[in-house]
Amino acid sequence: MNGALKQTPPCVLATRALLLRAGSRCLIEGLSMKIHRGELWCVIGANGSGKTSLLHAVAGLRQPQGGDVALQGRPLPDWPLAQAARVRGLLPQTLHDAFSASALDVVMLGRHPHLERWGWESDADRALALQALRDVDLEDFAQRDVLTLSGGERQRVGIAALLAQDPLLLLLDEPTAHLDLRHQIGVLDHLAGMVRQSGKAVMLTIHDLNLAHRFATHVLLLGGAATPPFGPVAEVMTAASLSLAFGHAVSCVKLGERTLFVPA
């Protein structure tokens, strides 16, 4: 045999015949897909197409109307909550702060799934939290009260908390919302690098088609059909498929080696 066969990385998340509804409206029907280690999936689609509902379903926060979800080959409902939190973590679309706390304390919350029942954070946990703040360009904000932060700064604290949680699968609902251009690129570049280097998996929702095309390895496109297309980014993100999903003509433009999508 000439050379070893290329092996598929281990599957982190799988859906089988997933059905999601919002009232009487069908959002997703018959979705059977797998996410493997080393993949960064972008979920794109129009408002109301089911992006957040899908993330909540695969995180275990929403009961699907049909089908099932498995985490590392084990049905999601069979996972004890503490164990599941060490394997998958979710950044919600909206973050609420009920009281004052330092940015570092909020990020340290991400370490709780790794603590014993009555355990306290260690110096190692604190070091991980501080590194997570550095990863999102907030190294000087550790002692800032989260109630004093801008929307973009607070969003990055939320991302840092998820990084500190250190799950195998990171689920992020619009992580680039409220971020300026530099920090949009910085956050996505960090996630992409983490996927390549550590073999984690990422699934995130995003509205910017060009950022999705630039950073994703795979795309799930909602809104064009009840059973949405998904797969490698170059196969799914076409002018025709995007135009159908968004209900507005989209053109594909080549700029050197870059591919850009613009409203027609």
pLDDT digits (tens, 9 = 90+) for 148-185: 999 999 999 999 999 999 999 999 999 999 999 999 99
The band of 67, judged by pLDDT with boundaries at 50, 70 and 90, is: very high
- Prediction pTM value: 0.94
List of residues 6+ apart from 111 with CB closer than 8 A:
121, 125, 128, 129, 164, 165
Inter-helix orientation angle 123-135/151-165, to 10°: 140
The band of 4, judged by pLDDT with boundaries at 50, 70 and 90, is: low
CB count, 10 Å around CB of 157?
A: 25
Q: Domain limits of the chain?
A: 11-263
Residue 71 CA to residue 203 CA, distance in Å, equals: 13
CATH architecture of the domain 11-263 equals 3-Layer(aba) Sandwich (3.40)
Given this model, what pLDDT does residue 195 score? 97
Cα separation values, 216 from 60, 203, 209, Å: 24, 9, 10
Assess whether pLDDT exceeds 90 at residue 257: no
Residue 96 CA to residue 65 CA, distance in Å, equals: 28
Assess whether pLDDT exceeds 90 at residue 27: yes
